[in-house]
A and B are shown apart, each in its own frame.
Chain A
Amino acid sequence: MQGLEKKIKDRAIELLESGKVDGIIGWEKGQFIYDPTPAVFTKETGLDNFCYNNFCGANLSKYLVGKITSDKKYAVLLKPCDTYSMNQLITEHRVNRDNIYIIGVGCEGHLDVEKIKRNGISGITGVSVDGENVNVGTIYGESTIAKSDVLLGKCEVCRGNAHKISDELIGEELQTPEASDRFEMVNKLEAMTAEERFAFWKGELSRCIRCNACRNACPACTCRVCVFDNGRSGIDSKANASEFEEQMFHIIRAFHVSARCTDCGECSRVCPENIPLHLLNRKYVKDINEFYGEYQAGEEADQRNPLVNFGDKDIDPTVISDKEGN
């Protein structure tokens, strides 16, 4: 990983100095090894604080939305899964492809520091992935832990190491983690009775503190003015008018991103209350697959998603009742 970090850094410096791009969107070292933050690097800032390690799970594609009217050109570092979001943003005209230089970077799965800590490991100073294991260096010495136990939730269902869009690749040979069935939990939820499911979501969503982190991190949530911030929409007042707060907020949000959500998992990654928000979106992904055929948002740019498309192969409305067994 350190080798790859250096390669990316050298290339970034080259791009900046040649004037090919005006800025690089990447990750900046945090206070600890496990808290890198997305940042914009320019000639002025230099790349001294740049980092790319096993804690760079953040999806950087959304950081370009604000640059759409800028005449500056930015390079952005995208892991394979992040490129789906980039395609979706291009499809929706929320970024200006002409002003973006996409560097696809290799990935071997990113780690969830909370999971590592939950295994009783603290004082983390460094990590290195060694096949199926992760060696964690701490101020108390070195520990080894199974990689599959400490992967970010979104990496557990990794969709492989292919970058769906890029201008150049660095370190693409890295092996991404083996994926498990991403609909496993959705199937479980579907098997529940309505009451059980309601109880499940009530338990999860009642922890929501409406910090808006999910919305702000979500690459599909790019509305200029969100309906929840628009007093005139009348929707903000409806969001919490229920017996457990915020259920409507998350359901409305899931509806708004349905068929546009690439299942990147950022919503759940950033949730400070560890609410499995991605399951709402994944339920829609599964329904869309079943109703309209396999569809992956962001598989390529300029796709037309099944919810804004009509065709004579479209499912008949009766399928809804059929599916419920009526």
Chain B
Amino acid sequence: MLKIGVFVCWCGSNIAATVDIDQVVAAAKLQPGVVMATGYQYMCSENGQSLMRKAVEEYKLDGVVICACSPRMHEATFRKNAQRVGLNPFMVEIANIREHCSWIHKDKEQGTIKAIALANAAIAKVSLNAPLISGESSVTKRALVIGGGIAGLQTALDIAEAGFEVDVVERQATIGGNMAKIDKTFPTLDCAACILTPKMVDAASHENIELITYSEVESVKGFVGSFKATIRKKARYVNEKTCTGCGLCMSKCPSKKSKNEFNLGLDNRTSIFIPFAQAIPNVAVIDPQSCIKLTRDKCGLCQSVCEVKAIDFTMQDEIIEREYGAIVVATGFKPIEVDAFDELGYTQNKDVITSLELERLMNAAGPTGGKLVKVSDGSHPTDITFIQCVGSRDCTSRGKEYCSKICCMYTCKHAMLIRDKYPDINVNVFYIDVRTPGKNYDEFYRRAVEDFGVNYIKGQVGKVYAEDGKLIVQGSDLITNEQIFIKSDMVVLASAIEPDPSAKKVASMLTASIDTNNFLTEAHAKLRPVESPTAGIFLSGVCQGPKDIPETVAQAGAAASKVIGLLVKNKLVTSPCIATTDELLCSGCSNCFNICPYGAIGYEDKLINDHGIRETRRIAVVNPALCQGCGACSVACPSGAMDLLGYTNKQIMAEVDAICKR
């Protein structure tokens, strides 16, 4: 039998206030195999760690149980500590009596009972542990960034600057993302294009960056250091290498009725088009849904006028396969659809618009050349009302429970810009709270109110309706406690933002986790904020949670530094906790093969000697380089032939038994 030592951490008062440490120590001592048990204030401190090392040597311990915080926090710490005194690191088990116990219970008696049960489970498990040896795997020195908005570009530029090759895969025909649509940025009011377009050019011209636009990542296989991605480059019908972006084709295209996505449908575009003047690559693309040649095999005018013969109607999608060491998700966001907010009349009144539509209306490169006019008749507005939190902080099914974080500031920016450019326009803002945490943010808001005379009304809007050529905004003013009716020419809805719809697909492709709102989750909010829990997958920008541009750029740089830290390594240590097959039990049924998210299981016809019966059987074989130790196969295997080293079925059952035995 193993000689086991148990160490119970107080974690200051984090654990000790809710769990009676002495009782846990006393109970642990009664467990079979336990030769010593003790409590200590901070096990993770140097004193705590040396206490463990001394005990391993003094009692010649074969196994150690640390009753402390989550293994996500310090399992690695204690395993490394074991290694220092020659104990195999995988002979250390953590009983999580903080997150799973003291933090979520108030009653000390109950908390103590649970802590004892968790300790007993870990002791039962460690009794069945076997020493495991880690392996090594190589690192492909190239990164993939999914998404070519400001987040993806910043991450790519930082990685490229460090000397590593980066591919940026962008679904749209141009990079730039949402930021390219924005007019000015808070809190400095400098123009978005002046910041973004140089970055776009930098990315396009950087020797280490390859931009793969109008493309989508179709599948990703492999693991940290050795991902294999399949990328579908959609047919542009225009040769990217020869097109000069002269725009002659656009001027000749007779199909002019397609909604211009870049201007959010506020104007129309031709079937062959360059998304916007500063698009990168500055190459035309044909919309196959509206192109007369592609839909009805007529026309072909663009082809005949193109001087460099760049147009090719027979172009097919291209499949690119590449290997990467790290992948960064930067899929960004989109504003939610506000059609469901019937009372705000977005679908009924042309002059009820969203904030992003207002950005386009105020943008010098927008459909009106930057002149703010009513969408309905092109006339000059005199009263504009903003409605904040449309769908944000909204627990009903049409909204989002979270704060979209950017709307208070951009609404403030819009109000200020309008008052600055058109002092004759009255601007009202309905708000629940104005949230301005951030450097120079509250000052910015105060300027809007104090210097620019924006009228902020605390309260929510009940209804927007048309009357005598005006929009009437009916709301409640919570300060004066009365119903108010504001005549407006335009109403601007600060719609909530949500992760781009592709995020869910990308996350499942990368086996990265997402939360209930489809934001990708970070491994730890404070310890590993830019890493996904899946090794080698990093998060940049709004795909991880609502962020403004300064924050996105900061986080994008942080993600890049983590990628660089990974790519500079020549070898990675692999976990020895991988699946194995009991060949005598395997029926070859393929359940494990089908469920394995990493493609780590294959089949071989093997000659088996089953207690004297020699026959060739179809047997599951685990590729140790691909297996990530997720354990899905061991659960799916009906006969128990699949087992996970370090978490064997027997160990799990022993833990369950220990918890149930009281």
Binding site for B on A (CB under 8 A): 69, 91-94, 222-227, 230, 232-235, 256-257, 304-305, 307-312, 314, 316, 318
**Cross-chain contact B639 with A308 (CB below 8 angstroms):** no
Q: Contact size class for B?
A: 20 to 34
On chain B, the residues within 8 Å of A312 by CB distance are: 504-505, 508
Q: Which of A94, A234, A307, A310 contacts B508 (CB 8 A)?
A: A310
- Say yes or no: A94 contacts B587, CB within 8 Å: yes
State whether A307 and B636 are in contact (beta carbons under 8 Å apart), knowing that A234-B653, A316-B516 are contacts in the complex: yes
The reply to whether A308 and B516 contact each other, CB–CB distance below 8 Å, is no
Given contacts A224-B586, A226-B639, A235-B640, contact A318 B649 (CB under 8 A): no
User: Is A227 touching B639 in the complex (CB atoms < 8 A)?
Assistant: yes
- A-B pairs, top 9 by smallest CB distance, nearest first, are A223-B639, A308-B594, A308-B595, A92-B589, A256-B638, A312-B505, A224-B587, A69-B615, A233-B640
Task: Identify 7 residue pairs between A and B in the complex whose beta-carbon atoms are under 8 Å apart, listed by A's number.
Answer: A92-B587, A93-B618, A227-B638, A308-B591, A312-B505, A316-B516, A318-B516
A233 to B640, CA, bound (A): 7
> Quick one: which of A91, A304, A308 has the most chain B CB within 10 A?
A308
Which chain A residues lie closer than 8 Å to B508 at the CB level?
A: 310-312, 314
CB closest chain-A residue, reference B639: A223
Residue interface bits B60-99, CB-to-A below 8 A is 1, else 0? 0000000000000000000000000000000000000000
Distance of B171 from chain A, by nearest CB (Å): 15
- B-side contacts of A227, CB under 8 Å: 638-640
B597/A310 in contact, CB under 8 A: yes
Q: Give bound CA distance, A256 to B585, whole Å.
A: 15
Instruction: Report if B584 contacts A (CB, 8 A).
Output: yes
B187 in the interface (beta carbon within 8 A): no
- Complex CA–CA separation, A227 to B641 (angstroms): 9
What residue of chain A has the Cβ atom nearest to residue B589's Cβ?
A92
Q: Which residues of B contact A309 (CB under 8 A)?
A: 594-595
- A159–B480 Cα distance when bound, in Å, is 69
B254 within 8 Å of A by Cβ? no
Note all chain A residues with C-beta closer than 8 A to B594. 304-305, 308-309
A234 / chain B contacts, CB cutoff of 8 Å = 649-650, 653
Say whether B589 contacts A225, CB under 8 Å: no
- Would you give the shortest CB distance from A253 to chain B, in whole angstroms? 9
Task: Report if B163 contacts A (CB, 8 A).
Answer: no
Within 8 A of A (CB), among B573-608: 584-591, 594-595, 597, 603
Please give me the residue from chain B that is nearest to A257 by CB atom.
B638
Q: Verify B639–A91 contact, CB threshold 8 A.
A: no
Instruction: With CB as the reference atom, state the residue of chain B lying closest to A314.
Output: B508
Q: Which chain B positions have C-beta within 8 A of A314?
A: 508
Q: Mark B618-634, 1 if CB is under 8 A from A, else 0.
A: 10000000000000000
* Chain A nearest Cβ from B649, distance in angstroms: 7
Given contacts A94-B587, A308-B594, A318-B516, contact A223 B650 (CB under 8 A): no
Please report the C-alpha to C-alpha distance between residue A225 and residue B640 in the assembled complex, in whole angstroms. 9
B589 and A94 form a contact (CB under 8 A) = yes
* In the bound complex, CA of A93 to CA of B590 (Å): 8
* Cβ–Cβ < 8 Å partners of A316 in chain B: 516
The distance in angstroms between the C-alpha atoms of A233 and B650, with both chains bound, is 7
Interface SS of chain A: loop
Q: Write the chain B residue with the least CB distance to A92.
A: B589
Q: Which residues of A have CB within 8 Å of B650? A: 232, 234
Q: Say if the beta carbon of B616 comes within 8 Å of chain A.
A: yes
Assembly CA distance A233 to B591 (angstroms):
19
Nearest-Cβ distance from residue A251 to partner chain B, whole angstroms: 14
Residues of B within 8 A of A225 (CB): 584-585, 639
Q: Specify which chain B residues have a CB less than 8 angstroms from the CB of A311 in the assembled complex.
A: 508
CA distance A126 to B653 in the complex (A): 54
Q: Are B516 and A93 in contact (CB under 8 A)?
A: no
Q: Given the complex, which residues of B lie within 8 Å of A318, measured CB to CB?
A: 516
Specify which chain A residues have a CB less than 8 angstroms from the CB of B398 in the assembled complex.
Answer: none
Decide if B653 touches A93 in the complex (CB within 8 Å).
Answer: no
Once the chains are docked, how many angstroms separate the CA of A308 from the CA of B617? 22
With both beta carbons as reference points, the residue of chain B lying nearest to A302 in the complex is identified as B590
A69-B616, A307-B636 provided; 18 other pairs, C-beta below 8 A?
A: A91-B590, A92-B587, A92-B588, A93-B590, A223-B589, A223-B638, A223-B639, A225-B584, A227-B638, A230-B639, A230-B640, A232-B650, A233-B649, A234-B649, A308-B594, A308-B636, A310-B597, A312-B505
Contacts of B636 in A (CB 8 A): 307-308
A93 to B620, CA, bound (A): 12
CA distance A305 to B593 in the complex (A): 12
Highest count of chain B CB atoms <10 Å: which of A91, A225, A233: A225
Q: Name the CB-closest residue of B to A69.
A: B615
Minimal Cβ-Cβ distance residue in B for A253: B638
Which residues of chain B from 484 to 539 have any CB-CB distance to chain A below 8 Å in the complex? Answer: 504-505, 508, 516
Given known contacts A69-B617, A234-B650, A311-B508, A92 and B590 CB-to-CB distance under 8 angstroms: yes
CA distance A308 to B653 in the complex (A): 23
Inter-chain CA distance A235–B639, complex, in Å, is 11
**Residue of A whose beta carbon sits closest to that of B613:** A69
Tell me which residues across on chain B come within 8 A of A256, comparing CB atoms.
638
Report the minimal beta-carbon distance from A90 to chain B, rounded to whole angstroms: 11
B624-662 CB contacts (< 8 Å) to partner A: 636, 638-640, 649-650, 653
Q: Which residues of A contact B505 (CB under 8 A)?
A: 312
Question: Would you give the shortest CB distance from A139 to chain B, in whole angstroms?
Answer: 47
**For the complex, what is the distance from the CA of A232 to the CA of B585, rounded to whole Å?**
11
Q: Are B590 and A224 in contact, with the CB atoms below 8 A?
A: no
- Chain A residues contacting B615 (CB-CB under 8 Å) are 69
Q: How far is the CA of A286 from the CA of B615 in the complex (A)?
A: 39
Assembly CA distance A225 to B508 (angstroms):
34
Q: Which of B584, B597, B618, B639 has the most CB of A within 10 A?
A: B639
Could you say which residues of chain B place their CB within 8 Å of the CB of A94?
Answer: 587-589
